[in-house]
Amino acid sequence: MGSLCLFFILIHLHCASVVLSTSWCNVTSPLGPVPANALYFNTKSRYEEVNPYLISNISAINDSWVKPPYPECKAVHLSVIARHGTRYPTSGNIKKMIQFSKLVKSQADLSCVRELETWKMWYKEDMDGRLVEKGRSDHRHLAQRLVKSFPTLFTKENLETRRVKFLTSSKHRCINSTLAFKHGVVEALRVPGMDLQHTVNDELMRFFDRCQRLVETVEKNKDAVKEVTLFNNGPEMKRVQEKLADRLQLPYINVTSDSVETVFYLCAYEFTIHGVNSPWCRLLDDADARVLEYSGDLKQFWKRGFGHEINSKSSCVLFHDLFNRLDAVARNITSGGYVSDVVMVQVGHAETLLPLLTLLDLFKDKVPLNSTNFSSHRSRAFRSGVIVPYAANLVMALFDCPDGIRVQARLNEQPLSLPGLNNLSPLYQDLRKRYEQLLQGCDQNTVCKMNS
Ligand SMILES: *[C@@H]1O[C@H](CO)[C@@H](O)[C@H](O)[C@H]1NC(C)=O
Ligand SMILES: *[C@@H]1O[C@H](CO)[C@@H](O)[C@H](O)[C@H]1NC(C)=O
Ligand SMILES: *[C@@H]1O[C@H](CO)[C@@H](O)[C@H](O)[C@H]1NC(C)=O
Ligand SMILES: *[C@@H]1O[C@H](CO)[C@@H](O)[C@H](O)[C@H]1NC(C)=O
Ligand SMILES: *[C@@H]1O[C@H](CO)[C@@H](O)[C@H](O)[C@H]1NC(C)=O
Ligand SMILES: *[C@@H]1O[C@H](CO)[C@@H](O)[C@H](O)[C@H]1NC(C)=O
Ligand SMILES: *[C@@H]1O[C@H](CO)[C@@H](O)[C@H](O)[C@H]1NC(C)=O
Ligand SMILES: CC(=O)N[C@H]1CO[C@H](CO)[C@@H](O)[C@@H]1O
C-alpha cells in the first residue's frame, strides 16, 4: 500500500508541475477498472452500471425485486422486450475513430496521456455493429436470472410444448442476442441440446424503419433535431472542445464536436467491449462527460422520445402486440383455459424500447429537453444510459391472485412504477384503464400515414 501511495503521489507531482507551468495538462488519473465517465455513456452504457451488484456476481438477483404481489399469487405469464447486448461501433463511427486517432497520433502532444503513445487502433470497419462476446454474455446471464426469478414459467415442459416463444429483429446483433438468450435458458434448465425456435419479425421489432411518417418527418428531417445541432454548436460543447484541444495541444479548429464525441466513443467502446479503462477516457473529465451525455440524450429525446409525438406513436404496433397477448392470457386464465404463451421474449433495439416506454408515459420531465436547458436538467428523468443500456429489458409479468389478475412491470430487472398507478402490482384491469385511450386507438397505419 505504501509504495502504491508513493506512486500516485509521484504521478500527482508530475501532473501538478505541468499544470503549474502550462495549465493545459489537466486530466483525471485512471483510478480503478471503471472509467469515471462510465455513468454517462448513453446508449453505449454497460448494463452493470444500472445494476452494480452484478459486477461482483453476474448471477445475483435482488430478491426484494422479484416478489409476487402477495404470497398467494401465482405467476402465469412473462413478456420480455429486450435490447440486443454489447456491440461493436457501426462502420461510420469506426471511420471517425480511425481518422481522429490518426490525427492525435500524428499531430498531438501526448505528454498529458502518455499511454496514448502505445495505444494501437484495433477497430476495423467490418466490425460494423456486430454483437461482441460480452453482448452474448449479457443475454445469456439475463436469461439465467429471469429463469431463476420465474421458475414456474421457464420449465422443461413449457419449453417442450413451445409455450416459451422467441421473436427477434432481423439484425444480426439481435439474432445473436436471441441465440445467447436461448442458450442461457437451456443451460439454466439443464436441457442440453434442446432446440428452441425463434421467429424474425421486423414489423414489430423495427417498426421505426417502416413508419413512413416517422421516416419522413423525423429520420430524414434535420429540422427535427435542430435542438441537438444547436446544443452541439453551443457554449457548453465549445468549452469541451477547447479543453480537449488544450489537453492534446491541437489547434482549436481541428477539434470539433464530432471529435469530442469520437473520443467519448473511443473511451466507451473499449470499456464495454474489453472491460478496459482506456487512456482515451482521461481526455474528458466529469463535467465534459455530462455535457456529452446531455447531447446524446437530447438526440434520443428528439428522435425517439417525447420530442415529437410520432416518435412514440410509431410503436403502436408493438404496444398492441403486447396488450393483445396480456389480454388473451388474462382471459384464458379467468376462464380456466389453456395459456399458449407462457413466456414471450422479443429482442430488438434501443430504438424499439424507447418509443414504447415513451408511449407508456415513462421518464417524462416537466420541462422538455432543449439546447438551452442543460443546466436545469442535471437531475432529469430522461437519461438514456439508465433506461436503455445494452441488454435493456422491459418485463411485464402477470400473476393470478385471489383478487384477480395483477401485473408487475420491470425495467432492467428493477420494479417500474407506471405513471398514474400508485401500486407496483396493480390489477390488470386498472392497467388497461390507465392506457384506455391507446388501447382504443393508436392504429399503426393511421399514425404512420403521411398528412394524417
Ligand atoms: C482543470 O481541472 C480543474 C479541477 O477539476 C477545473 O476546475 C478546471 O476547469 C480544469 N481546466 C481545464 C482546462 O480543463
Ligand atoms: C451469486 O448469486 C447467486 C444467486 O443469488 C448465488 O446462488 C451464488 O451463490 C452467488 N455466487 C457467488 C460467488 O456469490
Ligand atoms: C435490492 O433492492 C433494494 C430495494 O431497491 C435496495 O435497497 C438494495 O440495496 C438492493 N440490493 C442490492 C444488493 O443491490
Ligand atoms: C453471430 O454469431 C456467429 C457465431 O455464433 C458469428 O459467426 C457471427 O459472425 C455473429 N454475427 C454477428 C453479426 O455478430
Ligand atoms: C486542421 O484544420 C485546418 C483548417 O481547417 C486544416 O487546414 C488542417 O488540414 C487540419 N489539420 C489536420 C491535421 O487535420
Ligand atoms: C387463449 O386460448 C385460446 C383458445 O384456447 C388459444 O387459441 C390462445 O392461443 C390462448 N392465448 C394465450 C395467449 O394463451
Ligand atoms: C427551451 O425550453 C425552455 C423551457 O421549456 C423554453 O423557455 C425555451 O424557449 C426553449 N428554448 C428553445 C430554443 O426551444
Ligand atoms: C423551465 C426552464 O428550466 N427554463 C430554463 C431553460 O434554460 C434557460 C437558459 O439556461 C433558463 O434561463 C431557463 O430558466
Ligand 5 atom 14: the closest Cα is on which residue? 254
Q: Is 33 exposed, middle or buried (0-12, 13-18, 19+ CB in 10 A)?
A: exposed
Tell me the HSE value of 165 on the side-chain side, using a 13 A CA sphere: 16
pLDDT of residue 16: 37
Mean pLDDT of 170-180: 98
**Which ligand 4 atom is nearest residue 131's CA?**
14
* Ligand 3 center to 63 CA (angstroms): 8
Among 367, 369, 373, the mutation site with the greatest number of ligand 7 atoms within 8 A of its Cβ is 373
Confidence of residue 27 (pLDDT cuts 50, 70, 90): confident
**DSSP E strand stretches across 16-150:** 74-83
Q: Does residue 97 belong to any structural domain of this protein?
A: no
Q: Which residues are catalytic?
A: 84
Ligand 4 atom 11: the closest Cα is on which residue? 172
Q: Does residue 14 belong to any structural domain of this protein?
A: no
C-alpha cell of 120?
494501437
pLDDT of residue 113: 87
pLDDT of residue 13: 37
Ligand 5 atom 13: the closest Cα is on which residue? 103
Q: Is 436 exposed, middle or buried (0-12, 13-18, 19+ CB in 10 A)?
A: exposed
In this prediction the pTM is 0.91
Q: Does residue 162 belong to any structural domain of this protein?
A: yes
Q: Ligand 6 within 6 A of 340 CB? A: yes
Binding pocket residue ranges, ligand 1, CB within 6 Å: 26, 243, 246
Inter-residue contact 391 to 86 (CB < 8 Å): yes
pLDDT of residue 46: 96
pLDDT of residue 375: 93
Q: Does residue 186 belong to any structural domain of this protein?
A: yes
Short-list 396, 411, 424, CA closest to 51: 411
* Ligand 3 center to 407 CA (angstroms): 21
DSSP string covering 250-294: --GGG--HHHHHHHHHHHHHHHHHH----GGGGGS-HHHHHHHHH
Domain that holds residue 139: 38-87+134-222+297-448
**In the predicted model, is pLDDT for residue 24 greater than 80?**
no
Q: Does residue 317 belong to any structural domain of this protein?
A: yes
pLDDT tens digit string along 294-332?
Answer: 999 999 999 999 999 999 999 999 999 999 999 999 999
Please, what is the average pLDDT of the chain? Answer: 92
> Could you give the CA distance from residue 339 to residue 76 in angstroms, rounded to a whole number?
8
pLDDT tens digit string along 206-229?
Answer: 999 999 999 999 999 999 999 999
pLDDT tens digit string along 164-173?
Answer: 999 999 999 9
* Ligand 5 center to 250 CA (angstroms): 10
pLDDT of residue 452: 57
Q: Does residue 247 belong to any structural domain of this protein?
A: no
pLDDT tens digit string along 32-55?
Answer: 788 888 889 999 999 999 999 999
**In the predicted model, is pLDDT for residue 350 greater than 80?**
yes
pLDDT tens digit string along 87-137?
Answer: 999 999 999 999 999 999 999 889 888 889 999 999 999 999 999 999 999
Inter-residue contact 280 to 268 (CB < 8 Å): no
**Whose atoms come closest to the Cα of 240: which ligand?**
1
**Which ligand 7 atom is nearest residue 227's CA?**
13
Partners of 28 in beta bridges: none
* Ligand 8 center to 260 CA (angstroms): 25
* Ligand 6 center to 166 CA (angstroms): 17
Q: Does residue 146 belong to any structural domain of this protein?
A: yes
**Which ligand 4 atom is nearest residue 129's CA?**
13
Q: pLDDT over 70 for what percent of the chain? A: 93
pLDDT of residue 32: 78
Q: Does residue 258 belong to any structural domain of this protein?
A: no
CATH of the domain at 210: 3.40.50.1240
pLDDT tens digit string along 222-254?
Answer: 999 999 999 999 999 999 999 999 999 999 999
Q: pLDDT over 90 for what percent of the chain? A: 86
Ligand 7 atom 14: the closest Cα is on which residue? 370
pLDDT of residue 337: 84
**Which ligand 2 atom is nearest residue 61's CA?**
5
Short-list 131, 303, 317, CA closest to 206: 317
Total domains in the fold of the chain: 1
Ligand 4 atom 2: the closest Cα is on which residue? 176
